[in-house]
Amino acid sequence: MRPTDAEIVRHYDQEGTEGDAYVPGYVPTRTPIAIEEHDPKWMSTYDVVIELISGALGSRALELHHIGSTSVPGLPAKPIIDIDLIVEDPADESNYLPELLNLGFIHAVREPWWHQHRLVMLRQSERTAHVHIFGPDCPEVIRHVMFRDWLRTHPDDCELYANAKRSAAGATNAEVGTGMDYNRRKECVVRDIYDRMFRAHGLMT
């Protein structure tokens, strides 16, 4: 069942501390936030990664979406391919996680309080990807796809977001912060764009 408008426009805040989401045994590393100019190769890297996932999971991969900044032509980004993978039940990790681990993915995050979100990461010299795992009709996936399509067709907001990303990366690197710190620094701009997008689609007044 499609989420309600209220569920789609709701901004979720982090519950608990950042460490609560990390899978036991996963140790995050603090590396500089590298924002690069858009590289057309990111699109082909996405194609390779989803072919790997589709081959491993078959029909259990209900949907795959290229989201995030690498999916928006012309938008600078961290050279990490973000993908939304939809499975029947993200909480049933035994139904998909072993196959992803066999492909070389690392299970990094488990957030049952946020749409049962799981995050697995692929870090290889020729490709780097973060795969966000959600269930069917998840409002967050709808938000991600809407945001991607909005930035593809609204150059002013795309430029606004690009400037926010560069500023957030600079400040985070100066303090040797984390990716979560980087996300928090650009969150205000992101939410402003989301709200403008939701109003344009008639989801907010």
Beta-carbon contacts of residue 118 (< 8 Å; ≥ 6 apart):
90, 93, 97, 107, 109, 110, 111, 132, 133
Digit-coded pLDDT (tens) for 77-115: 999 999 999 999 999 999 999 999 999 999 999 999 999
Digit-coded pLDDT (tens) for 37-71: 999 999 999 999 999 999 999 999 999 999 999 99
Q: Quote the CA–CA distance of 124 and 105 in Å, as a whole number.
A: 9
**b/e burial code for range 171-183 (CB count within 10 A of at least 16 → b):** ebbeeebbbebbe
* Res. 180: pLDDT tops 70: yes
SS3 content of the chain, % helix, strand, coil (to 5): 50, 20, 35
pLDDT band at 14 (very low <50, low <70, confident <90, very high): low
Counted residue by residue, the chain has a size of: 205
Q: Count other C-beta atoms under 10 Å from residue 61's C-beta.
A: 18
Residue 124: phi and psi, rounded to 5, are -125, 155
* pLDDT, averaged across the chain: 94
Pairing mode, strands 81-86 and 127-134: parallel
Please, what sign has the CA dihedral across residues 67, 15, 162, 205? positive
pLDDT band at 10 (very low <50, low <70, confident <90, very high): very high
Please, what sign has the CA dihedral across residues 20, 22, 28, 33? negative
Q: Count other C-beta atoms under 10 Å from residue 136's C-beta.
A: 12
* Res. 201: pLDDT tops 60: yes
pLDDT at 15: 57
pLDDT at 110: 96
Q: Quote the CA–CA distance of 170 and 13 in Å, as a whole number.
A: 23
pLDDT band at 73 (very low <50, low <70, confident <90, very high): very high
Beta-carbon contacts of residue 185 (< 8 Å; ≥ 6 apart):
164, 167, 168, 171, 172
pLDDT band at 19 (very low <50, low <70, confident <90, very high): low
Beta-carbon contacts of residue 34 (< 8 Å; ≥ 6 apart):
78, 79, 169
pLDDT at 205: 83
